[in-house]
Amino acid sequence: MPGINQQILIAAIVGVVVGWLIGYLPEDASLREGTLYASAMVGGVFISLLKMVLVPLIFASITVGVANLQAHRQVHRVWVSTMIYFISTLALASLLALAVTNYFEPGKGMSLSLFADAMNEFEGKQLTLPEFFLHFITTLFQNPFAAFANGSVLAVVVFALFLGVALVMGGESYRTIRQFFQEALDLMLRIIGWIMYLAPLGIMALLIKLVAEQDAALFTTMLTFIALIFGITLFHGAVVLPGILYAFTRRSPLWLWRGSKEALVTAFATSSSTATMPITLRCVQDNLGVRRDVAGFVIPLGTTVNMDGTVLYEAAAALFVANLVGIELNLAQQLVVFFMAMIASVGAPGIPSAGMVTMVMVLQAVGLPAEAIAILLPVDRLLDTIRTSVNVEGDIVGSLVVEKIVNDAEARGQG
């Protein structure tokens, strides 16, 4: 039986073909009406299931991701240097994606009827820049139970960060609570595994409705978006990350790629930084000469929280969806996308289904329709190959930069 990625690809092809055929039927044809009704129902159930697990998954994953830093707090200099590097490269990736996507504006001028309801609801809530910023700040801090009930993702994220930091500061006193959240995260992943059985059917249903009600211009727009993501990701991996490496270590990009090619190729082939991690560790230690204690901290942590390729993809995808819907996100709203794309990578489990849920999280943070994953998911596997390679490259560069910082500090007698 084909894997979930192959099932989604097959379902997407079937959905496009059926939607294309249905689109030729008269609007009052019973077959057309019945097919679109069934597609709307199945697709709606799939989206509702994703929304159902969104808040508990994000809450548990971020809490666990931050709390797990507790085990490493004794390596203070390595920890601080690593986190500064991770935050900086994630911010650069998100900023790059937003800047380039704003310049090229993929999807601009499109109007997808599938998202008409979401567009009308969004337009009714448009605020000026100062009003939106004030509203954004005040919604960050809410009663957590009210935030859970209302699906206020930003407030849930903030509370999870506070809770994770409190667990770090409490140390072993809160070991039982940390174990509880770890088990809660495992439970959410099990439920998502069940939902993924419906993913091919849900994506097929959403695409049937989308294609039947949309002209062929959408497919040209998708090709433009795919090319844009490849271009941004390659630029980050070939220019930004090697540039950071050279600035700190004076090592050339060719030296980096020669020493890490095995890990990068494996990441490209598997689309899993988690599965690639043992090879990444071997390349970093044996080929690039990074100390075992530094590599053993930076690489596993980076596999969990440092995902440059994923961050730039989700930030660009959010703007792409906004263009498709016909919404122009103002500066404050794009700042929300900037930060939410970064936060979505913190503690997010390295499985395709969890990545799909974090994409929903970024979209919903600024009121964009979750149904947009019907467009994004069929091409996600293709784009995942290159962004996973960049994720792994970011971890490798991070280990080299952190080692340089630590070695310089030790040489100055500050270690």
Using H for helix, E for strand and C for coil, what is the string for 311-361?
A: HHHHHHHHHHHHHHHCCCCCHHHHHHHHHHHHHCCCCCCCCHHHHHHHHHH
Per-residue confidence (pLDDT) for residue 349, from 0 to 100 = 54
Give, in degrees to the nearest 5, the angle at Cα 51 between 108 and 151: 95
- Please name which of 378, 356, 369, 318 lies closest in space to residue 16, comparing C-alpha atoms: 378
Per-residue confidence (pLDDT) for residue 122, from 0 to 100 = 47
Per-residue confidence (pLDDT) for residue 74, from 0 to 100 = 39
Per-residue confidence (pLDDT) for residue 209, from 0 to 100 = 80
For 292-303, letters b (16+ CB in 10 Å) and e give eebbbbbbbbbb
Give, in degrees to the nearest 5, the angle at Cα 403 between 400 and 409: 145
Q: Which residues contact 6 (CB under 8 A, 6 or more apart)?
A: none
Q: Which residues contact 337 (CB under 8 A, 6 or more apart)?
A: 94, 98, 315, 318, 319, 329, 362, 365, 366
pTM: 0.72
Per-residue confidence (pLDDT) for residue 202, from 0 to 100 = 83
Q: What are the distances in angstroms from CA 124 to CA 135, 326, 327, 375?
A: 15, 14, 12, 25
- Please name which of 105, 47, 91 lies closest in space to residue 320, comparing C-alpha atoms: 105
Q: Which two tokens stand for residue 237?
A: 């991996």
Q: Which CATH class is domain 4-411?
A: mainly alpha
Where do runs of H (alpha helix) occur along 68-152?
Answer: 76-104, 116-123, 129-140, 144-150
- Helix axes of 308-325 and 352-365: crossing angle, nearest 10 degrees: 50
Counting Cβ atoms within 10 Å, is residue 21 exposed (0-12), middle (13-18) or buried (19+)?
middle
Dihedral sign for Cα atoms in the order 33, 36, 42, 48: negative
- List the pLDDT tens digit at each of the 415 positions of the chain: 666 667 877 888 888 888 888 878 887 788 888 888 888 888 888 878 877 877 887 788 778 767 766 554 435 677 788 889 999 999 999 999 999 999 999 888 766 655 555 545 444 445 555 665 676 677 778 888 888 887 777 788 788 888 888 887 887 888 898 889 889 888 887 887 788 788 788 878 888 887 777 656 667 788 899 999 999 999 999 999 999 999 999 999 999 999 998 889 888 866 777 778 888 988 898 899 998 878 877 887 788 778 899 899 999 999 998 888 888 888 888 988 898 888 776 655 555 555 666 787 788 778 788 777 777 877 776 788 888 899 999 999 999 999 999 888 877 765 4
The CA distance from 271 to 282, in Å, is 18
Per-residue confidence (pLDDT) for residue 367, from 0 to 100 = 79
Per-residue confidence (pLDDT) for residue 244, from 0 to 100 = 96
- Please name which of 348, 398, 346, 360 lies closest in space to residue 165, comparing C-alpha atoms: 346
Per-residue confidence (pLDDT) for residue 133, from 0 to 100 = 63
Q: Where are the domains of the chain?
A: 4-411
The CA distance from 62 to 344, in Å, is 8
